[in-house]
Structure 1
Amino acid sequence: MKDFFITTALLTLTLSAHADWLNFRGPQGSGYAPEISDLPETLAESTTAWKVALPGRGLGSPLLIGDRVYLTAASGPEQKQLHILCFNAADGSPVWERKFWATGRTMSHNKTNVAAPTPASDGERIYALFSSNDLICVDLDGNVKWMRGLTLDYPNASNSLGMASSPIVAGDTLVAQIENDSESFAAGFDLLTGVNKWKIDRPKAANWTSPTVLEIGEEKVVCLQSSKGILGVVPSTGSSVFTFGGGASTIPSSAAVGDRLYIPSNGLTAITATTDGADPKKMWNESAQRPGTASPLVIGEKVYTINNAGVLSCADRSSGERIWRTRLKGPMSGSPVAGENGLLYIFNEAGVGQVVDLSGEEGKIISEIELEETILSTPSLSTGALYIRSDKHLWKFAN
């Protein structure tokens, strides 16, 4: 009996120490997870744990929950077949797959596809949003809990290039931006039923950014980015907390650290927000730190951006002053991520994975791998491992 309790305690500690990756760019939707350790410092054949084929195209990043990997894809000549996939994290073997037919528009630019958004999770369920505005909830074993064909309720909510904003779970609400140049809105959905908790009109313009979460004291504020700027809302009600009206990009998303938000706005702009109704305080703006497609990344006291020329810049996050810059192999469509080791991981569109050591006087590429497939997605991290997908395959790298 004593051995049983010891074994159970060790198992509990192991599971609790496992860091999950529950949405696009991980914690707060910001790309940095200091609790994720033992990441591979080298991307090479020797650290390739496995590679599995996928049934369709997709840009969405994998979700990592416990010992499983969850992913979406779309297949068929018109991408009308939607897939939610689950793999064993240890060896890449398939656990289950669920298929659905799209109920909305599946047109998109050739560079993107219907499975462009990254799913989100509360650790108990997977919430998969597709460019066709189909929103599907399954539990971790693939059992369907609810489905919403949002095009049936909002028939004009689409754009000709395809939708790509990824949802996020904040508290007891799933928040999604369904923003376009016609019937543009953001909404909060009940996690258990999929019913609207709230819905607000948004600027009528194509927008591919994803919500991020500010943690102000004990409160969470979801930040909705658009060409007009930032709207901070209470996730459970959609009530406005603050507005930043300085304009913002419609491709790279903001990065959140505590109560401070780093916005791709006129270069890069840092603001500090409160929940007392006051306007956010603008800390600084640096036009030279303009991100390209990749979203900014904040690690410690520094903020990193990658421009459209593939130049990685490091700046002081308290002042915006540039510290150094170095050229990577670009261009990039995905965003950089980092864990406890402080290394930056990024893949370019040609499928070249790059590991950048940020600890010196300037950034240094310490590892590269050529996967020889187009990669437009963002890596996901879990304790001891990095995952990346293309249209055709999913890879795991581990020590």
Structure 2
Amino acid sequence: MRTRFCGVLALSFVWMLQAEDWRQFRGTFASGLAVESLPPTQLSENHIQWKASLPGRGLSSPIIVGDRLFLSAAEGADQSKLVVMCFHAVSGERLWKKTFLATGRTMCHEKTCVAAPTPVSDGESLYILFSSNDLICLDLKGHLRWLRGITVDYPNVSNSLGMASSPVWVDGVLVVQVENDSQSMALGVDPRTGKNLWKLDDRPKGANWTSPIPLPQMDPPCVALQSSKGVDLVEARSGHLRASYKEGASTIPSSVLFGSTLLTPSHGLTALDLSQAEGDLPILWRAKSFSPATASPMVMDNAVFVVNNAGVLTRGSLDGGKRQWQVRLKGPFSASAVGFGHHQFWVNESGLVQVVDVSGEEGEIVSQLDLQETVLATPSISNGSLYLRSDQSLWKLGTPPIL
């Protein structure tokens, strides 16, 4: 049986395509690609439109809804103060800050933190997940709608290294991947109440930092759950398992969708055919030399791109994973790339932003900007601007005003 991929946008995911919004980790379809506009590619300090101070620590990405930017952080010696903030995306003014106390465990590896998952929005509400497994729903003005301590419901949900999987919103359901060393699960949560619509108890045990991949173009809309065992395609409304790939996958970089193909970090990089999403997912091709490290793969300019542990960016064909070129970037990288058109923005851990033109016969670094702070979070793009965060700072990079 072949799965129907809709030829037109379904109402269930029109929310994702509001032209300049960036409502979840890696933006629309979790692809890392901007929908309409490109930030400046010849970066300099003149492109820093504003810089705002942040409290505590945070590895989550900014999300943008309209002219509002939302971000999470964690404060306190034990990071037990959970912070959600709203900034004006144009001016950088902080509009509000809300603080909650963690109900779950806050232990983390020193490199990560409690505010590692990126929030998600449906355009009307914010859904913020923390490593303490506290899930908070606010309206866009910061008013609390509900708060749920997942560890209160399931006391053995714990990962001593810290949780980082970001929630996604698919077909009116909030999908949360809570995979850990003990009580591992995935939840379909009612965004109106915070209660379970479904729960998958048979998720692999073990730390998993990958995020669900929304598949709203499938009929019915699904979500891809990646783990050490492989990839499961689950219907968003029911939690029904549609198809699986069972040959293992990374638990750090997430998969990326291209049309009806899911490119999964597995045995290098494995291309899975979602057009036949029943039973075992067919393998289209596998490229063992493509081994993404921490950053998730990206598809753009009719090619797939990965960065390995040595900081080498590789471009490969989408019809077989054949290597086309390589260029060495200055790493290491924890953040995944974002981009538009023919340009990618890579930010290394020391805060060096590198803009790469990927359209030629060789990759070319066309500009660099050193933010001089540790940056581990993936950037966001909205209205032709690039938004980045460290623990201490939030930046907007855009075209300088004409004087």
Q: Settle same-fold status: TM greater than 0.5.
A: yes
What is the match of residue 6 of structure 1?
none
* CA positional deviation for 1:182: 0.3
Q: Does the 8 Å contact 1:30/1:212 carry over to 2?
A: no
* CA positional deviation for 1:301: 1.8
Q: Distance in 2 between matches of 1:268 and 1:163?
A: 24
Residue 176, structure 1, aligned to residue 166, structure 2? no
Q: Distance in 2 between matches of 1:17 and 1:82?
A: 29
Give the 5 Å matches for 1:47-196: 47-196=47-196
* CA positional deviation for 1:29: 1.2
Residue 24, structure 1, aligned to residue 2, structure 2? no
What is the match of residue 6 of structure 2?
none
* CA positional deviation for 1:114: 0.3
Q: Residues 11-40 of structure 1: CA distance to partner in whole angstroms, max 9, x if unpaired?
A: xxxxx974110111111112123x231421
What stretches of structure 1 move > 3 A for 4+ residues in a row?
215-219
SS at match of 1:28: helix
Tell me: CA distance 1:153–1:224, structure 2 relative to 1, closer, same or farther (3 Å).
Answer: same
Q: Does the 8 Å contact 1:214/1:257 carry over to 2?
A: no
Q: Does the 8 Å contact 2:335/2:346 carry over to 1?
A: yes
Q: Residues 184-221 of structure 1: CA distance to partner in whole angstroms, max 9, x if unpaired?
A: 00001011111100010210111000011235455422
Which residue identity lines up with residue 95 of structure 1 in the other structure?
L
Q: Distance in 1 between matches of 2:289 and 2:129?
A: 34
SS at match of 1:284: strand
* CA positional deviation for 1:55: 1.1
Q: Distance in 2 between matches of 1:168 and 1:63?
A: 12
What is the match of residue 397 of structure 2?
397
Q: Which runs of 5+ in 1 are unaligned?
A: 1-15
What is the match of residue 8 of structure 1?
none
Q: Does the 8 Å contact 2:301/2:358 carry over to 1?
A: no
Q: Does the 8 Å contact 2:78/2:107 carry over to 1?
A: yes
**TM-score, reference length from structure 1:** 0.94
In percent, how many aligned pairs have the same letter? 51
SS at match of 1:334: coil
* RMSD, aligned α-carbons: 1.3
SS at match of 1:288: coil
What is the match of residue 281 of structure 1?
282
Q: Distance in 1 between matches of 2:224 and 2:277?
A: 16
Q: Residues 102-143 of structure 1: CA distance to partner in whole angstroms, max 9, x if unpaired?
A: 111011011000000001111111100000000000011111
Q: Distance in 2 between matches of 1:386 and 1:220?
A: 30
Q: Distance in 2 between matches of 1:18 and 1:140?
A: 18
What is the match of residue 319 of structure 1?
320
Q: Distance in 2 between matches of 1:17 and 1:172?
A: 16
Which residue identity lines up with residue 350 of structure 1 in the other structure?
S
Tell me: CA distance 1:342–1:145, structure 2 relative to 1, closer, same or farther (3 Å).
Answer: same
Which residue identity lines up with residue 375 of structure 1 in the other structure?
V
Tell me: CA distance 1:295–1:60, structure 2 relative to 1, closer, same or farther (3 Å).
Answer: same
What is the match of residue 211 of structure 1?
212
Which residue identity lines up with residue 253 of structure 2 in the other structure?
P
SS at match of 2:46: helix
Count of matched residue pairs: 382
Q: Distance in 2 between matches of 1:43 and 1:252?
A: 27
